[in-house]
Amino acid sequence: MGKKRTFEDTMDDPSKPQSASPIVAMFEGFRSELDEHHDRRERVIKASRDITAASKKLIFSLQRVRKLNHPIPLFVVKANAQYWQTIESQYRAISSDLQRLNAYRYRSNITGGNQEFMEALSFQHYLETQSLISYEEAGHRIASMGGEGGSVLLTPEDYILGIFDMVGELMRFAITSMATSGKLPGGESRRQKHPREETSGGQDADKMELDRQVSGQDEQKPPRRDVLADLRELRLHLEGFDPPLGEKFADDVDKKIVVMRQCVEKVETALYGLVMRGQERPKGWIPDLTEQRRAPEQVEGY
Amino acid sequence: MAERYGMVNPAIFEDLQARVDEDTTVRDELRDIIQTLEKQSRSVQFVLSRAHSTLASAIPEVVTAAEGSIENEVETILKLSQAASKLPYYKWNAMWSRQIQDAAFGILFCGWLGGYTPKGSEAKPGRLLTIEEVGEIMKIPVNLKGVDSFHLTIEEYLQALISLVDELARLARNSVTLGDYRRPLLISQFIKDLHAGFQILNLKNDALRRRSDGIKYRVKEVEDVVYDLSLRNLVPKAGEI
């Protein structure tokens, strides 16, 4: 860059002999400011990518959880410890870059990581408590990881878009559970099935017997919801949410809402299949059902 | 607290809705101010465009008129600054960045033509107003780093400089048409200096980069004008200046 300065110096302007160097000095000032800005931006982008990758791994492990409304099993906690650590150290590393003015300046660079982490965080929260984590709680969670640099901002946009993605995880969770254990996680659906089983299933509903025992414990408590009920409820709230028109956020919501509806429908379709074949199962007519009957035993023995 | 709702506490979404609705209100308020600024900016450009058809001797009148209409702009910028300083700057900055760039360009061009001359010195063309000077004229701070408040950013100033380069390349040709053979030389040197300045910057692949790439073509355009003049022996000697 020094080359430029000599170029300037040799330029000879009779009307303003001093003009070149002040301009160069001025631009040198700008260069260092812009370099700082670009470096900060790069750091944030990199951290966002790492947070995204670690959050995806968190979700991957969490998908191995089978019990809803229980503490996360130890093997998942152990597997995920390193990813939590990665996420925390990434947030801590960039928190000082995202203070005051810069909180919003780089929000488009960190939003990817925030959304993915939001997805993981809300999914885990759901598995543990069968409820949706609040914006405040999620915000505190991320803020607390900022460490000495200050807290990292979670915008309502990050939160909402993360929750939209979490619907996909709930879908996967519900369908995997149905495939492996032949039932929808959560208690409510079992209760509803009772009358039907009694009238149609009859004496040879050996597997159903087991389910009934499980649901029998719930009967003293208030009726429990299953994942599908929760998905439908979440869908209502997300559909009821009205994003500001003409913003990029609104476009994102429009796209995600389509995917979300598909996710809910997939679970509904899967449940339909389960109910249909579930009735036929005792008769043993359909060959692949023998496999489905074995599967739950494996899981329970797990 | 009993379980009076299912999975979702309705308060979560009520709160989020309230937040984004508040943003919508803010956006509407700002939009009004920004639209006013845009209109005023157009009338500044309208005044300044007379420079292309005005002899150097009559330029001071154009400058005075432009300074007057820039004052209106500054009033609106003050309103914008008051409304926006309560808000996180970069959350909303994209809304007005374009208009602020245009306003800064008007000020820069006016300054180049001889406007905003410090008291006591003679008004002459070819002066580059610094970002600080532009900020002073706009009555807003520049390049804030710590405080989250309304200000003129470096990027906005640089964008305005690029607009100035484009405008001056046009002015170089029009000066010749008016019979002013000295101004193209001044312009040529001025935008060469700016070009050298921009080359110092390590620009990433962003809006600034894309636009600043055009500066070299402006430099060449003006060089061509100077070449045409020198070929015909029309370049004024240094002594005549």
Distance of CA A1 to the CA centre of its chain: 46
B140 and B25, same structural domain?
Answer: yes
Q: How many CB pairs under 8 A join A and B?
A: 132
Mean pLDDT of A72-85: 96
- Which pLDDT belongs to residue A187? 58
Cα dist. A99→A42, A96, A102, B157, B238 in Å?
16, 6, 5, 23, 54
Nearest CA in chain B to A10: B193
Is B10 in a helix, a strand, or coil?
helix
What CATH number should be reported for the domain holding residue B132?
Answer: 1.20.58.190
Do the domain assignments include residue B193? yes
B129 and B20, same structural domain?
Answer: yes
| Model confidence pLDDT, tens digit, residues B50-100 | 999 999 899 999 999 999 999 999 999 999 999 998 899 999 999 999 999
Q: Tokens for A199?
A: 């009238």
Lowest mean pLDDT of A74-83, A87-96, A275-284, B32-41, name the range: A275-284
Instruction: Give the residue from B7, B29, B134 with the most A CB atoms within 10 Å of its CB, the best one to mutate.
Output: B7
Amino acid at B172: A
Q: Is A134 on the interface with B (CB under 8 A)?
A: yes
B194 and B143, same structural domain?
Answer: no
Distance of CA A84 to the CA centre of its chain: 14
Highest mean pLDDT: which of A16-20, A121-125, A246-250?
A: A121-125
Asked whether the beta carbons of A263 and A171 are under 8 A apart, the reply is yes
* A222/B3 CB distance under 8 A: yes
B130 contact residues in A (CB cutoff 8 A): 26
| Integer Cα distance of A178 and A195 in angstroms | 20
Three-state SS annotation for A220-263:
HCCCCCEHHHHHHHHHHHHHHCCCCCCCHHHHHHHHHHHHHHHH
* B196/A34 CB distance under 8 A: no
Amino acid at B232: R
A101 contact residues in B (CB cutoff 8 A): 88-90, 144-148
- Contact partners, residue A187, CB within 8 Å, separation at least 6: A215, A218, A223, A224, A225, A226
B190 and B131, same structural domain?
Answer: no
B117 and B47, same structural domain?
Answer: yes
Which domain covers residue B199, as residue numbers?
A: 153-241
Minimal Cβ distance to B19: which of A156, A237, A240: A156
Mean pLDDT of B128-151: 94
Name the pLDDT band for B239 (thresholds 50, 70, 90): low
| Integer Cα distance of B208 and B18 in angstroms | 36
Given B123, B148, B173, the domain boundary residue is B148
| Model confidence pLDDT, tens digit, residues A239-279 | 999 998 878 999 999 999 999 999 999 999 989 888 887 76
| B116 backbone φψ class: left, alpha, beta (φ>0; ψ -120 to 50) | left
* B186/A15 CB distance under 8 A: yes
What CATH number should be reported for the domain holding residue B162?
Answer: 1.20.58.200
Cα dist. B224→A205, B172, B178, B227 in Å?
93, 10, 17, 5
Mean pLDDT of A62-88: 95
User: What does chain A come to in residues?
Assistant: 302
For residue A73, give the DSSP letter: P
Name the pLDDT band for A204 (thresholds 50, 70, 90): very low
Mean pLDDT of B204-221: 94
B194 contact residues in A (CB cutoff 8 A): 23
A100 contact residues in B (CB cutoff 8 A): 146-148
| Integer Cα distance of B142 and B159 in angstroms | 14
Indicate whether B12 pLDDT > 80: yes
- Which pLDDT belongs to residue A185? 85
B230 and B112, same structural domain?
Answer: no
B216 and B126, same structural domain?
Answer: no
Taking the CB of residue A28, how many other CB atoms lie within 10 A of it?
Answer: 16
Q: Tokens for A141?
A: 């969670």
In angstroms and rounded to an integer, the radius of gyration of the C-alpha atoms of chain A is 27
- Which pLDDT belongs to residue A179? 83
Chain B nearest-CA distance from A162, in A, is 14
B82 and B27, same structural domain?
Answer: yes
A24 contact residues in B (CB cutoff 8 A): 193, 196-197, 200
Cα dist. A24→A9, B168, B200 in Å?
10, 19, 8
Is B142 in a helix, a strand, or coil?
strand
CATH code for the part of the protein at A45-154: 1.20.58.190
* A13/B189 CB distance under 8 A: yes
| Integer Cα distance of A102 and A151 in angstroms | 12
- Which pLDDT belongs to residue B240? 55
Any idea which residue has 């359909």 for tokens? A286
Lowest mean pLDDT of A76-90, A264-278, B203-217, B222-236, name the range: A264-278
B32 and B100, same structural domain?
Answer: yes
* A35/B202 CB distance under 8 A: yes
Distance of CA A227 to the CA centre of its chain: 16
Nearest CA in chain B to A17: B189
* B193/A126 CB distance under 8 A: no
Element (H, E) at A9: helix A2-10
Indicate whether A212 pLDDT > 60: no
Q: Which one has a higher pLDDT value, B44 or A17?
A: B44
Mean pLDDT of B175-183: 94
* B200/A4 CB distance under 8 A: yes
Do the domain assignments include residue B9? no
- Contact partners, residue B50, CB within 8 Å, separation at least 6: B62, B65
- Which pLDDT belongs to residue A213? 44
Highest mean pLDDT: which of A62-66, A189-193, A278-282, B3-7?
A: A62-66
- Contact partners, residue A40, CB within 8 Å, separation at least 6: A97, A102, A106
- Which pLDDT belongs to residue A180? 83
% of residues, chain B, pLDDT over 90:
85
* B12/A135 CB distance under 8 A: yes
- Which pLDDT belongs to residue A133? 97
Mean pLDDT of B39-54: 96
Q: Is A258 on the interface with B (CB under 8 A)?
A: no
Is A211 in a helix, a strand, or coil?
helix
Mean pLDDT of A164-181: 92
Taking the CB of residue A290, how many other CB atoms lie within 10 A of it?
Answer: 11
| A42 backbone φψ class: left, alpha, beta (φ>0; ψ -120 to 50) | alpha
Average pLDDT, chain B: 93
Given B82, B113, B148, the domain boundary residue is B148
B133 and B63, same structural domain?
Answer: yes
Domain total of chain B = 2
B188 and B233, same structural domain?
Answer: yes
Is A186 in a helix, a strand, or coil?
strand
- Which pLDDT belongs to residue B5? 66
Asked whether the beta carbons of B36 and A263 are under 8 A apart, the reply is no
Q: Is A25 on the interface with B (CB under 8 A)?
A: no
Task: Single out the residue of A108, A104, A154 nearest to residue B88, CA to CA.
Answer: A104
Mean pLDDT of A174-190: 76
Q: In chain A, where are the structural domains located? A: 45-154, 155-302
B97 and B28, same structural domain?
Answer: yes
| Integer Cα distance of A37 and B68 in angstroms | 36
Nearest CA in chain A to B15: A135
* A20/B193 CB distance under 8 A: yes
| A123 backbone φψ class: left, alpha, beta (φ>0; ψ -120 to 50) | alpha
Given B90, B119, B148, the domain boundary residue is B148
B112 contact residues in A (CB cutoff 8 A): none
Instruction: Decide if the complex's ipTM is over 0.95.
Output: no
* A244/B24 CB distance under 8 A: yes
| Integer Cα distance of B164 and B107 in angstroms | 10
Do the domain assignments include residue B8? no
Asked whether the beta carbons of B113 and B61 are under 8 A apart, the reply is no
Q: Tokens for A220?
A: 């003293």
Taking the CB of residue A166, how many other CB atoms lie within 10 A of it?
Answer: 27
Lowest mean pLDDT of A16-30, A249-263, B85-99, B194-208, name the range: A16-30
* A15/B241 CB distance under 8 A: yes
Across B122-156, b (16+ Cβ under 10 Å) vs e yields: eeebbbbbbbebbbebbebbbbbeeebbbbbbbbb
